Structure 1
């Protein structure tokens, strides 16, 4: 068992905390206790924000470094993370049930790629320009780092989402106070070790694990200059209200109820892996998951057979087994929530095609069978609310206009996919889908492109140059001479 005896990563080292609150971490597959860490107290948050503030305000500190110097350190950080990839992967899989092959790609390899992307980007990004004025003078326009960034990350992709938030902030010259979710905190200690080995200056990265009260205190802290949050829409609204009152910049990546539109010319058999990824990646515990599958009536039964085989044939089991495709859910409480939605689907008249229970052969662990519902009404609960588990709702449509109407009939707008043999047709249709991201026969977040949602799916964008811009503020300096 991993125990971090009253130690939190603050100011560049594992520092003792006086907090008496303890986070206990359990294996999602065995339910056994696998680790203990302290839960950050308000005093710990004060210390972390103070350390970040000092590191930012230091006249020779991180915010004043040449971008190329910061880039070299970010690249070394990526290298140090890669050196610890096996340990990060194992800890994530144990904690949240993510299949280890998925964790190796998305929790170890891709975060390092994101840090390297921003190292490259900051080298070529102009942060100052001179503009000739219309009134006889000139203006120098500067983009400067925002300051101390509070980054609050979820349990489903803890390292990847941390990279989305931390990499552009560090590249811009900001300092960071990171709040991991209590369900997945053990991997953050590996990240702290990597930061030390990479030579990231003291106070530039600080980590304060905790629950809702810790997050609320951090969001409202007077020493914080920007908040970036990934999580539920309900919590996002609370954070937005606090930041609005404080006139504090905020980026919110929130919930989703995305739709996959399968067109009448789609070649499903050539896209089974892609369909599985958009529907069931990380056991369905994915904000961009396409939990609604829209199918033309002309191909309804055929498509239903393909999806049933895909869902029922998925390998369910130990997330540390490389053959596992579906692991357990993150907690008993979350499993109960997902099971409640399955019961609601049955109650409201949807046809349960496969799954719906717990795997009989797995006595321990928070497992739910991959579940497929057919004949789902577009207004039903399981078609409108985010389930965050391996539950798919198949909805028939009459024509393309009907499909677009159903896809857009949601309070969310985070992701979507279109499946067709004609890429041009898919591109044209994507312009009608009200969503921050759309994939055509494919979906994978790429560091070069902005990611985020509309409507109840959030505010702002992460990744791409837009992610760097969100960590900079503009200052204009006027000169009388031209």
Structure 2
């Protein structure tokens, strides 16, 4: 057990948070978490079975249909959400550190995303629902119609390992604001940190069953997707898994939000400023060791400045500090697991055996003999049809692709199954904006890329269905009901 900022965090999590209590698992399977930077044992967590998922869903259903949560007002829910945020804030430093140890995220990034952002999202959606009219009276041909917005019901939230706290809260916060109850299934790759939410929910006084947390693998996770008492699935993860979940939700006619993979393009136009590009490429293409769905791993450069861009990008990667993610000086940490490291190295091998030209990185750093580190790597002369340009690596491996003019850049950027992130780099913002408007993607930045929690986030094409964040994110957790009433309603 470690103690950080006067809050205890138990690194062994062998119980599940169901119906407001810590309960023993029904099965006996466990997951042994390893520290990404060293490979050393970090903690042990129980893995749930279909029966554990069933217990959690039934608790959520009971809290919604018969418990106090289903009868709360927006103000009452908002007040509890603020208490939940306060409890998470007390644990923020410890949580951020734990996530960095689990998945290798540099601590300078983990603090804002895993420490501060979850509490901020709770507060944002608490205030949004307070200001929202959940009933509206409209005139109709025969009198009036009361248009109600009601909670969609029980939400199955499936969160990934790369930004585990904030991506879970991007589902939990709007769901709670809308009046839904939630069953959270975290990823085994970050098996330990999600239970901090259970500790905080208990402290805040969330009613039993409102938030339930069961760690499980894909098998038990599938039972959450298909459970008859679940009304909506909110999933962040791979496109491959998203297809399976989407097919099942379609079969069951079940609401869903899917935030999936990407293969985004950073377009450096002919008039771009190279210093601006180098100042922003870290956030655009290497954030969280490139274990980010919006990673812009296709760098599109004009032929007239192609060598300049390639050399500058190679120099930038060579200058990065690779090391322990808990060191604030580290800019590139390890991959989240040995298995994932193998995947990234596999893509590097594929590119080495293609016509692409390796200009930096290309393997494991020689000064790191422990943990799952890989050098930030740049390949030039990549064809947009190469595997490195088509498939999501989810690691710091960049493909630099030449283009002829702005129209050609747009064509190459759009020649992808994905459409999640992107950026355009130009000294002329209007020119950059004109290019950005033509790229089929859910988000895109002009001379920088940074997620805005107040604006909708999601993808086009194989990058997903629906949107999270911004005021728009609460809508997928609401259902509309029209009540046809008399004319007296209008006068009232």
TM-score category (smaller protein)? over 0.9
Residue deviations 1:22-56, cap 9 Å, x none? 01101111111110011011111111001111111
**Is the alpha carbon distance of 1:167 and 1:5 closer, same or farther for their aligned partners in structure 2, counting shifts above 3 Å?**
closer
Stretch of structure 1 that moved more, 194-203 or 88-97: 194-203
TM-score after normalising by structure 1: 0.98
Map of 2:133 onto structure 1: 126
Matched, 1:144 2:144: no
Kindly indicate whether the alpha-carbon contact (under 8 Å) linking 2:11 and 2:192 is maintained by their aligned counterparts in 1.
no
2:223 is the alignment partner of 1:217: yes
Partner of 2:164: 158
Q: CA deviation at 1:308?
A: 1.0
Q: What do the CA deviations read for 1:298-318 (whole angstroms, capped 9, x no partner)?
A: 111111121111111110011
CA contact (8 A) 1:147 1:175 kept: yes
Instruction: Tell me which of 39, 46, 51 is aligned to 1:43.
Output: 51
2:196 is matched with 190
For the Cα contact (< 8 Å) 1:316–1:325, is it kept in 2? Answer: yes
Q: Which runs of 4+ in 1 moved over 4 A?
A: none
**Any residues of structure 2 matched to 1:243-392 within 5 Å, and which?**
243-392=249-398
Residues 242-282 of structure 1: CA distance to partner in whole angstroms, max 9, x if unpaired?
11111000100001000001111212213433211111111
Which of 114, 118, 127 in structure 2 is aligned with 1:111? 118
Structure 2: tracts of 5 or more residues without a match: 2-9
Superposition deviation, residue 5 in structure 1: 6.1
- Which of 439-448 and 83-92 deviates more? 439-448
Question: Which residue of 402, 412, 416 maps to 1:396?
Answer: 402
**CA distance in structure 2 between the partners assigned to 1:6 and 1:391 by the alignment:** 36
SS of structure 1 residue aligned to 2:334:
coil
1:101 alignment partner in structure 2 = 108
- Whole-angstrom distance in 2 between the partners of 1:340 and 1:470: 38
Corresponding residue number in structure 1 for 2:425: 419
- Alignment-derived partner of residue 26 in structure 1: 34
* Runs (5+) with no aligned partner, structure 1: none
**Structure 1 counterpart SS, 2:190:** coil
CA distance in 2, matches of 1:274, 1:61: 48
Q: Partners in 1 of 2:170 and 2:392 — Cα distance?
A: 22
**SS in structure 2 of the partner of residue 243 of structure 1:** helix
Quote the residue 1:69 is aligned against. Answer: 76
Please state how far the C-alpha of 1:176 moved relative to its aligned partner.
Answer: 0.3
Cα RMSD (Å)? 1.2
| Aligned counterparts of 2:82 and 2:380: Cα–Cα separation in 1 | 48
Structure 1 match to 2:17: 9
How far apart are 1:447 and its partner, in Å?
2.0
CA–CA distance in 2 between the matches of 1:202 and 1:41? Answer: 21
- Is the contact made by 1:258 and 1:292 (CA closer than 8 Å) also made in structure 2? yes
Q: CA deviation at 1:446?
A: 1.6
Say if 1:30 and 1:364, in contact at 8 Å, map to a contact too.
yes
In 2, Cα distance between equivalents of 1:3 and 1:71:
30
Could you tell me whether the CA contact under 8 Å between 1:219 and 1:242 is conserved in 2? yes
Structure 1: how far apart are the matches of 2:309 and 2:25? 56
Q: Do the aligned partners of 1:6 and 1:19 also contact (CA within 8 Å) in 2?
A: no
State the 1:444 CA deviation.
Answer: 1.8
- Stretch deviating more after TM superposition (182-191 or 61-70): 61-70
Structure 2 CA distance for aligned equivalents of residues 3 and 309 of structure 1: 39
Who is 1:439 aligned against? 445
1:55 matched residue in structure 2: 63
**Most deviating of 224-233 and 444-453:** 444-453
Distance in 1 of aligned mates of 2:311 and 2:175: 46
Alignment partners' CA distance in 2, 1:328 and 1:339: 13
Tell me which residue corresponds to 2:212: 206
Against the structure 1 CA distance between its residues 367 and 126, is the aligned structure 2 distance closer, same or farther, given a 3 Å change threshold? Answer: same
Q: Distance in 1 between matches of 2:272 and 2:70?
A: 50
| SS of the residue 1:31 aligns to | coil
Change in CA separation of 1:159 and 1:290 when aligned onto 2, cut-off 3 Å:
same
d(CA) in 2 for partners of 1:61, 1:440 = 47
Name whichever of 294-303 and 245-254 sits farther off: 294-303
Alpha-carbon contact 2:48-2:216 (below 8 Å) kept: yes
Q: Secondary structure at the match of 2:111?
A: helix
Q: Is the 8 A contact 2:26 2:48 kept in 1?
A: no
1:112–1:6 distance in 2 versus 1, CA, 3 Å: closer
Alpha-carbon deviation of 1:341? 0.6
